[in-house]
Amino acid sequence: MIETGKRRERERVYMLSKKKKERGKKFWHTNNNTKQNKKMTEKPRPKVNTRMRVILLDWLIDVHRKFKLLPPTLYLCTNLLDRYLSEVQVPKSKLQLVGCACLWLASKYHEIYAPEIRDFVFVRCYRKKEKSTNLKKKQTNKKFLDDDAFAKEELVKQESAIVDQLKFQLTLPTPLAFAERFLKIGNCGVGLAQNQKIIRCLVFYLLEHGLMKYELARSLPSKLAAACLAYSLLATNSYTSWVCFFARHAFLLCCF
């Protein structure tokens, strides 16, 4: 009875319907032909270097945590931000505005109750509590983050500019989406219950750490998720068992 239940569960997960198969194919097609990766092979725009990007993302992560938003919101926000910065030269004075507009767009896409515009205008003054010993250093590093950066009208206008520039292409695969799919398949097919939680946490940790690396933003989301999973498997001595299982699913072979 137990074995029958497990078999039915695996069939429910893996025996995809025709619509799901078509959706999956489109997912992989979008992943392999994403415009972002082609443009990200270039160097960052002169007005926004990698250091500024790290500072902005660090601040956006604080805002994301303050609003208690979902993880997919942060990944979509980063995707929108990188794609927009790869096409438009943004001055330092407007960088915080662009970041908030991207987070606002992403929250509308993923959240049931997205933050309102007044929340973003208020949170522009948000600063995480800093120790007195590092206060001067932090202020120097974040000197382009203004406490009075923008108004409501500017945020709405910037949101329109972003969606127009990106041609309303908001439905794109992120590394988190691929990682969740890989883990879901692996957890149902491999009897490694003692390592599953560790592997899952390690994969998500590596993905979040990779958000700060501009070089990784140029990689395909599927390959980035697969690389994080492969490292997690090696770290927990589970690589052989998982790869043998994934080998039975041809659509994952291109990642490993």
Q: How far apart are the first and last CA of the chain?
A: 35
Predicted confidence (pLDDT) per residue in 45-95, tens digit: 556 788 899 999 999 999 999 899 999 999 999 999 999 999 999 988 889
Are the CB atoms for 81 and 102 separated by under 8 Å? yes
Residue 159 shares a structural domain with residue 46? yes
In a domain, 7, yes or no: no
pTM of the model: 0.77
Nearest to 202 by CA among 183, 181, 184: 183
pLDDT less than 50: residues of the chain: 1, 16-17, 35, 41, 128-141, 189, 250, 253, 255-256
pLDDT for the residue numbered 120: 79
Residue 138 shares a structural domain with residue 58? yes
For the chain, helix (H) and strand (E) counts, in that order, are: 13, 0
pLDDT for the residue numbered 112: 92
Residue 91 shares a structural domain with residue 143? yes
Residue type, 237: N
Range of the domain at 101: 35-165
Are the CB atoms for 140 and 107 separated by under 8 Å? no
Are the CB atoms for 222 and 29 separated by under 8 Å? no
In a domain, 55, yes or no: yes
pLDDT for the residue numbered 92: 86
Q: Which two tokens stand for residue 132?
A: 């007195």
Quickly tell me which residue has 């592997």 as its tokens.
199
In a domain, 135, yes or no: yes
Residue 131 shares a structural domain with residue 238? no
Nearest to 59 by CA among 106, 113, 116, 103: 103
Instruction: Residue 64: give its domain's CATH number.
Output: 1.10.472.10
CA atoms within 13 A on the CB side of 104: 24
pLDDT for the residue numbered 244: 63
- DSSP string across 79-146: HHHHHHHTTS---GGGHHHHHHHHHHHHHHHH-SSPPPHHHHHHHTT------TTTHHHHHHHTTTS-
